Structure 1
Amino acid sequence: MKLPEGPKDSPRSLSRHFKTDPLGFMDAMGDRYGDIFTILGGDTPLVIVSNPQGMKQIFTSAKEIAASGKLNQGGAPLVGNNGLLMLDGLRHKHRRQLLMPPLHGNRVKTYGQRICEVADKVMNDLAIGESFYAYPTVQKITLEVILQALFGLHEGERYEQFRLLFSKLLSFARSRWLGLSLSYPFLRRDLGRWSPWGYWQNLQRQFDKLLYTEIAERREQADASRTDVLSELIFARDETGQPMTYEDMRDLFPSLLLGGQDASATAITWSLYWIHSLPAVRDRLLEELDPLGESPDPMSIVALPYLSAVCNEALRIYPTQVVTFPRLVESPIEVMGYELSPGTVVRGSIYLTHQREDLYPQPKQFKPERFLERQYSPYEFLPFGGGARRCPGEALALFEMKLVLATILSRYQLVLADEKRVEKPKAIGVNYPPASGLKMLMLDRRSGQEQPQQFVANSA
């Protein structure tokens, strides 16, 4: 077997480069080796593909290249042993299908007004004339939205308990301490709540207790009108026809929570950055939004073409998944002229695909118009992954992104606190929000078609 060319550096050096600057590492590899290259670390070669045709092969050659759950086992302590990432075959397909109805179609539409209200409530708490950091502010919005979508909760004592606990869980899930424990199994020792692993275990036990109590109460008081994910799972049957166990239900939530808050908040924050960095983009968005009035129908918002293009361009530059989930070659297969043997691991580089000059001229520049001028295939534009491991929350994420941006732009006048600062991405988990958190200033609240006042920002 002749593998594609790749770097000859030591695995430790490559790992250090990747951890220090993941996207810079990808750029360097793409510039040097092109559409396909191999990373050698130990006995298992890892082949990275960014060519759309190669990406299509990865997603459609299911018999030869399997989206094996065992390749994701390192994340089991974070997302559970029965989460979608860990499952294969019929179990994966069935449980994915259970999640789809509450996160797509008419169910998603029912969240529209709530998303706008949450965004307005969080933004309205900010003081006029004062600065704030956009990323943690948007995280407050996306956390409330995901609580509504997953658990149907938006007020009351149980809602407050979930909200406070999830804030702690999600914050610690991004921490360096948990990252070290996941990387080095010998650190996974529960030495009490003051030890990193002990603290994580304690948070998980609190989550289990809270979730199981909620499940028990809902089973006793069935409500067919509820549209959230938990209500769908409570009376669902697994692939053998048996009711879902508490553990099976629990393990489906962590990855949805992480993606629902962090990935969405990252995409919205980057959109705010580019919109307010480029006056022409902001002006064109307001020209599209203002005719809808002060309280537009959410479905009218999500249908706006330029708003959709802005969201797509933000997701192109920093997709919610930078690489596809790993796949395992199980039968010999030729990919882009290379014969890959069983045991080879293959990943698509979504980030590099989105940076291709032949698809996206001047790829580092934010140009929403490219999505109005051209239709891209699912192998050319794939911010949520593809194939069997495509993000199940894609429809909700795009819906939320459009409504949050529309609400903020329509009702508030914001500027960047430092207009000369060029924001760079920083890896937090698998997401890449602006490294600074994106400091902005709240100038005023908009009314009618009023245009924002002139303002000279400072970085104080």
Structure 2
Amino acid sequence: MKLPPGPKTPEIVQLLQWVANPLTLMDDCAKKYGDMFSLWVSGNGKPIVFLSNPQAIKEVFTADYKQFDTGPANQLAKPILGQYSLMLMDGDRHRRERQLLMPPFHGERMKTYGQLIQDITLAVTDEWEIGQKFSVREVMQEISLRVILQAVFGLQEGTRSQQLRQLLSEMLDEISSPFNSVLLFFPVLQKDLGAWSPWGRFLHRQQEISKLLYAEIKERREKPDPSRTDILSLLMSARDENDRPMTDAELHDELRSLLVAGHETTATSLAWALYSIHRVPGVLDKLLQEIDSLGNNPDPAAFAKLPYLTAVCNETLRIYPILFITFGRIVKSPIEITGHLFEPGTQLAACIYLTHRREDIYPEPDKFKPERFLERQFSPYEYFPFGGGNRRCLGIALAPFEMKLVLGTILSRWQLALADKRPVRPIRRGFTLGPSGGVRMVVCDRHHQKSRIVETTV
């Protein structure tokens, strides 16, 4: 079978380009080869076929889940997530685990997290002082990490919570640095050479995190409390169709996955949102008018229903998707996608970044225009920041909900401005796409009830 066209450069060159400058690589390939091309960037010696045509993406997302394997395509993430992570599972096992994990992230459970998210946002930002400069990504990471620890674990402030926060922040910052990102894509470099080596430090922190997670699981097993509504308690009480609970190892790896994937991604999206809100003329004014319409001390869930705030979050996730591509699907039996026949072993990936920047779907795709989400509805094959099909992210409801509550709470209480007029560019942070420099902002003033100072753009 002939693969779609792609660069002729050696695999090692393509992989280094993918690690160092993925956006330029994808843009160049889309211009030269169109909306279906092949790149040797998997890190396992096999090519990935990139798809950015909505019809092709629809055919992949709606195909029988038994048509593909995804776990083997995600093996590079195994050191971070663990072998029992949902992201590394396939087939019936993946379906069973997903059914166990889904309920806490949807429906009525969401409402119980609303007040928690607002309280944590207030607690973190109430420490700000007028004139203070800060890294938005670091503050948003502090908020989202506290949210995930309390919503997922039910951990209140205490020694174990503080230790987990510190260890997770250190581990993610280190492994997500531009230099150490290389380690994730070249397993041959993952050598434990002691505490002074990058991989050695990473493994040591992983072990410390695991001790804390297993200690929490053990404590919950010994002292069950049916009144608890945190996600760990719900998972521990969940049973599959054979009445089998999750094992300690399965719980550990799923919790680790939720901790890593569930807070870093949301924090990054919040940083991008605050950057665009304060950089693009008119956006902040419209948001403040909409937030003011709620009156004083609105219910936290009211923020989630605001149309323009929702559009701002959607546009943030469109123009700055956290992941460049969806999880790769490895073909198990011959399949035809938009007239192209793919043989078993071929890895297909819907390209979120390129699809979200198609000019035929999003006119002026490089411009931050929240109004586009008020003017039309996009299909799940044109807009899919959380992936699609049976591999869609579990956080598809919780993450935007958290984004809207955090943004609404901050903007209703503080006047901020960008501390630097220079544009912030996207850079790789591990497997994700984050803002260079973390976005620097300055605290200008407090908003007092309904009095606003809305001129904050620089």
TM over 0.5: yes
CA 1:450–1:43: 2 relative to 1, 3 Å: closer
Q: How far does residue 187 in structure 1 lie from its aligned partner after superposition?
A: 4.2
CA contact (8 A) 2:178 2:430 kept: no
Conserved 8 A contact 1:263-1:320: yes
| 2:220 corresponding residue in structure 1 | 218
Secondary structure of residue in 1 paired with 2:429:
coil
Map of 1:14 onto structure 2: 14
* Letter in structure 2 aligned against 1:243: P
Distance 2:195 2:257 in 1: 23
What is the rounded CA distance, in whole Å, between the counterparts of 1:249 and 1:456 in structure 2? 45
Q: 5+ unaligned residues in a row in structure 1: which ranges?
A: none
Closer, same or farther: CA 367–189 of 1 in aligned 2, 3 Å: closer
Contact kept, 8 Å, 1:266 with 1:431, in 2: the verdict is no
Q: 2:428 corresponds to which letter in structure 1?
A: A
Asked if the contact 1:83–1:252 (Cα under 8 Å) also holds between the matched residues in 2, the reply is yes
Q: Contact 1:3/1:338 (CA < 8 Å) preserved in 2?
A: no
Query: How far 1:320 moved relative to its partner?
Result: 2.6
Partners of 2:192 and 2:28 lie apart in 1 by: 40
Q: Deviations over 1:24-60 (max 9, x none)?
A: 2111111222111122579734211101110011112
Pairs within 5 Å for 1:279-298 = 279-298=281-300
Which AA in structure 2 matches 1:12? Answer: I
RMSD: 2.1
1:412 deviates by 0.2
Whether the 8 Å CA contact 2:50–2:349 is kept in 1: the answer is: yes
Equivalences for residues 323-338 of structure 1 within 5 A:
323-338=325-340
The residue that corresponds to 2:29 in the other structure is 29
Structure 1 residues 169 and 326: alpha-carbon distance in aligned structure 2, compared to 1, 3 A threshold: same
Contact between 1:415 and 1:442, CA under 8 Å: does it hold in 2? yes
TM-score by length of structure 2 reads 0.94
Secondary structure at the residue paired with 1:279?
coil
Per-residue deviation, 1:443: 0.3
Once the two structures are superposed, residues 389-427 of structure 1 have per-residue CA deviations (whole angstroms, 9 ceiling, x without a partner) of 1111121101100001001111000011123x1221111
The alpha carbon displacement at 1:176 in A equals 5.7
Tell me which of 96, 105, 108 is aligned to 1:106.
108
Give the drift of 1:350: 0.8
Quote the offset at 1:97 in angstroms.
1.6
Distance 2:456 2:342 in 1: 58
**1:26–1:205 Cα change, 3 Å:** same
In structure 1, C-alpha distance between the alignment counterparts of 2:177 and 2:443, rounded to whole Å? 29
1:150 maps to: 152
2-side partners of 1:62 and 1:140: how far apart? 40
Partner of 1:302: 304
The amino acid of 1:158's aligned partner reads R
* CA distance in 2 between partners of 1:341 and 1:417 (Å): 52
Indicate whether 1:94 and 2:116 are aligned: no
Q: What SS does structure 1 have at the residue aligned with 2:213?
A: helix
Match of 2:274 in 1: 272
Deviation at 1:455, TM superposition (A): 7.2
Shift of 1:112: 0.8
1:452 matched to which residue of 2?
453
Q: Which residue of 2 aligns with 1:360?
A: 362
Q: Which residue of 2 aligns with 1:49?
A: 51
Moved more, 173-182 or 65-74: 173-182
SS of equivalent to 1:404 = helix
Normalised to the residue count of structure 1, the TM-score between the two structures is: 0.93
Query: Structure 1: which amino acid aligns with 2:273?
Result: S
Give the direction of change, closer, same or farther, for the CA distance of 1:456–1:257 in structure 2 (3 Å limit).
Answer: closer
Matched ranges for 1:83-232 at <5 A: 83-175=85-177, 179-232=181-234
**What secondary structure is seen at the aligned counterpart in 1 of 2:283?**
helix
Post-superposition Cα deviations, 1:201-222, rounded to whole Å, max 9, x if no partner, equal 3222222222222122222222
Distance 1:279 1:330, change over 3 A: same
Q: Secondary structure at the match of 1:422?
A: coil
Over the matched positions of the two proteins, sequence identity in percent amounts to 49
**Distance (whole Å) between structure 1 residues aligned to residue 102 and residue 457 of structure 2:** 47
* Match of residue 404 from structure 2: 402
CA distance in 2, matches of 1:395, 1:301: 14
Q: How many matched pairs?
A: 456
